[in-house]
Structure 1
């Protein structure tokens, strides 16, 4: 149990890491979707 807890605690303690993951995911989606209008919508959500 103690081996599983540290990663979860550090993830909660560093929201920037979670935000960076969301930004990386958004970039991946933007690269997969060539439609500029859709990419603009993603940019507006961020």
Structure 2
């Protein structure tokens, strides 16, 4: 699996995780901060 595939998989999983959090009415700010901080670096490849 190349880097691009891994990133797409990661992105899909994050989207599911955020949807799940919204459904149960919770937030994970630590993860969100990490996610939004690293996403630009990942998507620029």
TM-score by length of 2: 0.54
Q: Which runs of 4+ in 1 moved over 2 A?
A: 40-43
Aligned residues: 32
Greater Rg by CA: 1
RMSD across aligned C-alpha pairs, in angstroms?
1.5
Q: Which has the higher contact order (CA 8 A, sep 6+)?
A: 2
In structure 2, distance between residues paired with 1:24 and 1:42: 15
For structure 1, list consecutive stretches of 5 or more residues without a partner in the other structure.
Answer: 1-10
